[in-house]
Chain A
Amino acid sequence: MNRRRVWETTRPYALILPAMIALFLFVVYPVFYLIKLSLYKYNLLNKDKSKFIGLDNYREIFTRDDFYHALANTAVYTVGVVLCTMLLSLGVAVWLRKRSRFNAILQAGLFTPHIISIVSIALVWMWLMEPGHGLLNYVLKAFGLPGSPWLQSSSTSMISVILVSVWHSIGYYALIMVAALQSIPPTIYEAAALDNASRFKVFWKITLPLISPQLFFILVIMTIGSFKVFDTVKIMTGGGPNGSTTTLVYYIYEFRTTSIGFASATGVVLMAIIAVLTFVYFKVLAQRIHYQ
């Protein structure tokens, strides 16, 4: 074989080599390393003293109350955020779908939180939610309502974190939905108008089915994203008060230095949950979606 031909066949491999090495080294390999770590009682200071303990870490996870607590918190957070964000952004998207200058400004405004660091968002909202001097309680009191302890009580902390996350992501998802809505051919609406279909019926029978593929992907992205929540929790509540906002990733984070094996096993469990959720979504919902 001449050298030119050899080069012809190996060239694509050479082109993708840097990317593949990086992906293997920093994404694929770590997953296997994580699984391996989860089977060990890992000693951070002296690696040679690490001990293989089989599935003991997993056994520990499923017997610990604080794990179930973190799992439940994450589930509550996910359901709350996904449900509220989905409904509100759909409402906003339908409301602002028309192309006009004012709507464009509004969309840009709603989108702003999405490009700002969670650190800033969390700090601003902590200040707004400050029980003594914060603005939110001032507004509540101005309307004659009692103030709320917001982040500082275990009964209101989770809902406060959910509120901030929903506020943070509405603009982004609303914009994706606006783009989806604008891609619906106007002729379909004209046909519906000829048939004297009511607004409600048009939304239910035409708009919703036509944007269902996008809604479905948003649902999947949002669920996965919510299951990985960490930044807001770390900054705003530190998992508290009383563990009321400890989510799975925060739980892993807390154990990351003290017991690496256990934290890794929890990581594997989290990954499995995300994989199962994605799979179920695709199985259950994919059949009900209308693809154009």
Chain B
Amino acid sequence: MLIQEKKQVGGKLRYRIRDHASLRLLKRLLGFVAKLAVLIVFIFPFLWMISTSLQTFEETLAFPPTWIPAAPQWHNFAEAMRSAPFVTYAKNSVIITVSVIVLQMIVMIPAAYAFAKYRFWGRNLLFGIVLLAFMIPGQVTFIPVYLMMADWGINNTLLPQIIPFMANAFGIFLLRQYFMQIPQEIIESARLDNASEFKIMQKIMIPMAVPALATVALFSFVSHWNDYFWPLVVTDSTAVRPLTIGIAMLRESEGVSNWHIIMAGNVVLVLPILIVYLFASKQIVKAFVYSGIK
């Protein structure tokens, strides 16, 4: 029930709907339902992927659609994995992702340290180049990089998918911001104790910048595990291709209508990321949002 109340405001008569308890409850319920609907729009495609991956071919064609498969067809996964050298693809994905992260850390930490804590001639200019590099799209530079790799004769190795990402401009930028907040006095007192620069980085800078390092590492993990464009344009042979390319090719090898097999392969590609996300969604969300704001 709504109670209308006459009220004198500034000489005029106005009606006001009083906030009744049941009305408030209704409002909250409607809000909840709407939010649930939105959540379903964003989560459902993934559930549908999993459901399809466990259906039979007939079930995928059924009308109305099969929501939950009668008997889970686990062999779809085996079939998807048999259709291409997926063990090789998965191994490549892991090697590429891990090497990129490790190399980036080795290159990034000293650079960010120098940009944050040293004054030297040309510092601003060089840092400007780092920022500029951040803006240059790989979707354009892939042609010359591919030709360079061909000149060096390493096009049929994993290197073209690793070494171009050695210097992470975004990472250097983010880490420098973090390092700048570390008080200079701590570093000075370490120097008075005759600590080497390596020791300072190892014992002071790195431990204090763990959140920033984790952000960059998570970022690199997600973006290189998921990368499709770069491996597509710099690789020539199956032996060096990652999982993303293998899964995308399932559509050609499986024909256009074997969606249950394609979705099975897809689940394999998504699962590692989804599992990590399930356990660390808060950190991942924070990392991405943080990187978007800075």
Question: What is A's interface to B at a CB cutoff of 8 Å?
Answer: 9, 11-13, 15-16, 18-20, 22-23, 26-31, 33-34, 37, 92, 96, 102-128, 130, 133, 135, 138, 167, 170-173, 175-176, 178-180, 214, 218, 221, 224, 228, 230-231, 234-235, 249, 252-253, 256, 260, 263-264, 267-268, 270-271, 274, 278
Contacts and interface: CB of A to CB of B under 8 A. Distances in A.
Contacts of B166: 18, 22, 26
* Interface SS of A by simple majority: helix
Interface string B60-79: 11011100000000000000
Interface stretch (B16-24, B208-216, B281-289): B281-289
B139 A116 contact: no
Given A120-B269, A130-B259, A37 B143 contact: yes
A270 B248 CA distance: 26
Contacts of B178: none
Contacts of B48: 124, 127-128, 135
A31 B141 contact: yes
A113 B232 CA distance: 22
A253 B233 contact: yes
Contacts of B222: 115
CB-CB nearest 5 A-B residue pairs: A22-B167, A117-B226, A19-B111, A33-B144, A15-B114
A88 to B, nearest CB: 10
Contact of B293 (A18, A103, A180, A228): A180
B120 A271 contact: no
B137 A123 contact: no
* Interface SS of B by simple majority: helix
B136 interface: yes
A214 B133 contact: no
A115 B172 CA distance: 22
A184 to B, nearest CB: 14
A142 to B, nearest CB: 8
B11 interface: no
B228 A271 contact: no
B285 A175 contact: yes
Contact of A127 (B52, B107, B227, B289): B52
A11 B270 contact: no
Contacts of B274: 112, 116
Contacts of B126: 16, 20
Given A125-B45, A128-B48, A218-B292, 7 more contacts: A11-B114, A15-B118, A19-B107, A20-B129, A117-B270, A119-B228, A221-B292
Contacts of B277: 112, 115
Given A12-B118, A120-B247, A252-B139, A26 B145 contact: yes
A122 B269 CA distance: 13
B91 to A, nearest CB: 17
B113 A15 contact: yes
Most buried by B among A109, A113, A218, A270: A109
Contacts of B292: 172-173, 175-176, 218, 221
A175 B39 CA distance: 14
A268 B136 CA distance: 11
A30 B270 contact: no
A119 B43 CA distance: 17
A52 to B, nearest CB: 16
B228 A231 contact: yes
Given A19-B111, A138-B63, A171-B42, A26 B248 contact: no
Nearest to B136: A27
A23 B45 CA distance: 39
A105 B281 CA distance: 9
B229 to A, nearest CB: 6
A22 B104 CA distance: 10
A152 B236 CA distance: 29
Nearest to B263: A127
Contact of B247 (A15, A114, A123, A126): A123
